[in-house]
Amino acid sequence: MAERVNIFDAIGANKRNSYFLIFLVLGIFLGMVWILSEVFEYGACGYTLGFFALMIYGLTAYFAGDKIVLALSKAKEIKRSEYPFIYNVVEGLSIAANIPMPKIYLIDDPSPNAFATGRDPKHSSIAVTKGLLDTMNREELEGVLAHEISHIANYDIRFMTLTVVLIGAIGLLSQIVLRSFIFGGLRGGGRRGQGGVLVIIGLAFVILAPLFAMFVRFAISRQREYLADANAAKLTRYPPGLASALEKISKYPHGVKNASDVTAPLYISNPLKKAEGLFATHPPVADRIKRLRSM
């Protein structure tokens, strides 16, 4: 039997996790700035630029992370007049979950899938693929949308959106450091006899950054998906609807074209259609279906 999770405890944990994630990754950002400044003798100029870049990136990640994710996914906002049915469903589920109605976006892709993003329920969005609308019946679509509404109500979206944006930053910074070593050469640090040590530290950052990103992906607790599934069943009062939707999504042979390793954790089901093993971003679909059908 699945362990019961108190909804208020889960919301509080998600808020704490999101803030911890911000400070952790921004700390790594500062570490890379320090390495670049010391090794290549950027000095005070490097620290100043790094500080301002840190502030700008931190604010961007928090306030515009959802827009970045939607842009990466090539999602387009839709109007009520275009898709009245999905608007009515989302509106009803939002009222049931006691949250403001999120914006709705469409991804022009035949693979059925969906995700929610944003920093809080007042600034949230749900994106669905065209394939989801084409392949799901009413009960299945309601189940998927209820799952995403649950992520919004539980504040999962803040944690997941920040994760996506900050993991992207880690990859970008690691490339900057690597290219600096390759094309810039070792100009500084040697006068203090520390050049070799700093080079080793810098290379360690480059090597460890992708690994850190992988562990952050894993840190997006699978329990969040189980919790959203359970809350979705509670909202719709029909667990088989979401179970059937997950079954259809898992059986579709192709992934979502514009999804990536970075954005994959946001989706209701792995959009890449590849085995992830120990570092899977989602619980096994078969296990999720089994839990839903036992409710």
Q: Give, in order, the Cα–Cα distances in Å from 91 to each of 42, 98, 139.
A: 53, 10, 15
Do 30 and 169 form a contact (C-beta atoms < 8 A)? no
What does the alpha-carbon distance between residue 152 and residue 111 come to, in Å, rounded to a whole number? 23
Characterize 241-252 residue by residue with b for buried, 16 or more Cβ atoms within 10 angstroms of its Cβ, and e for exposed: bbbbbbbbbbeb
Residue closest to 155 by CA, chosen among 3, 1, 279, 14: 14
Contacts of 106 (CB under 8 A, 6+ apart): 75, 76, 77, 78, 83, 127, 128, 129, 130, 133
Characterize 23-60 residue by residue with b for buried, 16 or more Cβ atoms within 10 angstroms of its Cβ, and e for exposed: eebbebbeebbbbbbbbbebeeebbeebeeeeeebbee
Catalytic residue (choose from 148, 225, 247, 276): 148
Please spell the DSSP secondary structure of 5-40, one letter per residue: --HHHHHHHHHHHHHHHHHHHHHHHHHHHHHHHHHT
What does the alpha-carbon distance between residue 146 and residue 151 come to, in Å, rounded to a whole number? 9
**Catalytic annotation on 3?**
no
Give the active site residues.
Answer: 148
